[in-house]
Structure 1
Amino acid sequence: MTTSAQAAAGRGRLAGRVALVTGAAGRDIGKHTAIQLAAEGARVVLTDRSAFRLERMREAMTERYGPQPPAFELDLRDRDRVGEIVRAIEAEVGAIDILVNNAAITAFGDVVDTPMETWDELVQVDFTAPWMLVKAVAPGMKARGHGSIVNITSVAAYVGGWNEGLYGALKAALQSLTRDVAFELGKSGIRCNCVAPGIVDSKFIRDNWHLYEDKEADAAMGRFPTSEEVANTVAFLASDEASGITGTVINVSAGWYMTP
């Protein structure tokens, strides 16, 4: 473990906190969020539905930060597993101080043509599962009098016409749920906020650059944000530096979309 990583693990602004990140072993926002939280001292619990990706992420995190992070295979489509996994994490690692609801799926096509099975799957993963995770971690956070929940939403909650209307609708619903949770749990010392990325510079975007090239110039900064920039915002909201912020959506789109 490098000297800087050792310092972060001992003295970072998230030192001593346990952070659960869903979809933590992908290529982009989840991965960089897990890395950033660990860099700031948190003990990060990795969850993902792919055992292969989890193991690869664990190896990368171990090489960078030393102790192997706990990892739990979790498919958010399986309702019975959500509560079980949270209980297993708390038994093995300890109480969860930070929850990052990052994992999500989408489907392209017209809303009116969406098959019922696709509808059910998206609602479960993008909305019901985050709610279930909030329900699962809230009792422990309330007992300790503190906690931070960060839901990853999207500017798709505001912008229609992207051929993935159900995804946008669910992200809007998650933002509304965030405000309700913030209000209900705020007096217990628990904060709940959203980070809403725009089009994020990623391997997927670069692989499909012909679909996005003309949109980059529309951003106020003339570029798309990076996954690292999204992760930095998550880490800020998870920290005590954001102690007065709850029920809020922070838009990270490099000015491609500006929240009214």
Structure 2
Amino acid sequence: MTGGTSGIGRATALALAKLGARVVISGRDEARGNQVVDQIRTAGGKADFLGADLRDEASARSLAARTRSLAGQVDILVNNAGIYPFGPTHETTEQDFDQVFSVNVKTPYFLVADLAPDMAKRGYGVIINVTTMVAEFGMAGMSLYGSSKAALVLLTKAWAAEYGPHGVRVNAVSPGPTRTEGSAPMGEDLEQLAAAAPAGRPGSADEIADAIAFLATDRSSFVHGAVLPVDGGRVAV
């Protein structure tokens, strides 16, 4: 699991470990990663942390190789790591653009390129991409972030078509406004964004993690190429 040291990633790691999975968490913050690992192990689960600054093909393939070396085959890949700068298009620099697409699109692409073929050979595997509700509709200030996640939505469907016939299920979860460490600086803006949805409130990391865990298990065995909105109903209105 990428981006597993906090927020949605941390909650998902805990949820998958509770279901019996051996979880390999990647991230940039070793201290936070080890805290998640310790929490899982204390509860009787299995977990390891691998430091990774995902930014290009080489870093993605390195993480895949180190994960196989540590844990053996990879049956479930959760592409959760992402960055989400907000702001006007005319203030976006080329460096901003390249950084967002490198983390949000390029690294998931090459993790799948590295891991999915082995899943297909075994005839089983699960890939879950974490996208966003703003990949589904236009919102001022979200052009860069939303477009990167919209690319991941299309990739979810393309990979489902490519690897699904070989037993690999590829789906996505699309969160709405969610209370996490990362979204805390948004303050009241988060509440206002959530107020536009039928639920009228932000979600929790655990609520997103439950959806990811559903797609990771055989309870969703007939689900391929789906984007599951977990956004309080925002894309419905």
- TM-score, normalising length from structure 2? 0.94
The alignment's C-alpha RMSD in Å is 1.7
Which amino acid letter does the alignment assign opposite residue 252 of structure 1? V
CA distance in 2, matches of 1:56, 1:162: 37
CA distance in 2, matches of 1:58, 1:208: 28
In the TM superposition, residue 203 of structure 1 has moved relative to its aligned partner by: 4.3
**1:144 paired residue among 122, 136, 161:** 122
- Counterpart of 1:236? 214
Q: Does 1:22 align with 2:2?
A: yes
CA distance in 1, matches of 2:56, 2:106: 11
Q: In 2, are the aligned partners of 1:182 and 1:193 still within 8 Å (CA)?
A: yes
Identity %: 35
In the TM superposition, residue 209 of structure 1 has moved relative to its aligned partner by: 2.8
CA distance in 2, matches of 1:118, 1:212: 23
**1:48 paired residue among 20, 27, 45:** 27
Which amino acid letter does the alignment assign opposite residue 23 of structure 1? G
CA distance in 2, matches of 1:76, 1:245: 28
In the TM superposition, residue 85 of structure 1 has moved relative to its aligned partner by: 2.0
**2:43 paired residue among 64, 67, 70:** 64
CA distance in 1, matches of 2:196, 2:40: 36
- Counterpart of 1:13? none
How many residues are aligned here? 237
Alignment of 1:177-188 (within 5 A): 177-188=155-166
Q: Structure 2 unaligned runs (5+)?
A: none
In the TM superposition, residue 121 of structure 1 has moved relative to its aligned partner by: 0.7
In structure 2, the CA distance between the partners of 1:162 and 1:65, relative to structure 1 (3 Å rule), is: farther
In the TM superposition, residue 78 of structure 1 has moved relative to its aligned partner by: 4.5
Extract structure 1 runs of 4+ deviating beyond 4 A: 203-207
- Counterpart of 2:227? 249
CA distance in 1, matches of 2:158, 2:131: 15
SS at 1:108's partner residue?
coil
In the TM superposition, residue 56 of structure 1 has moved relative to its aligned partner by: 2.0
**1:31 paired residue among 7, 10, 20:** 10
In the TM superposition, residue 45 of structure 1 has moved relative to its aligned partner by: 0.6
In structure 2, the CA distance between the partners of 1:101 and 1:66, relative to structure 1 (3 Å rule), is: closer
In the TM superposition, residue 204 of structure 1 has moved relative to its aligned partner by: 4.8
The more displaced of 134-143 and 105-114 is: 105-114
- Counterpart of 1:83? 61
- Counterpart of 1:5? none
- Counterpart of 2:171? 193
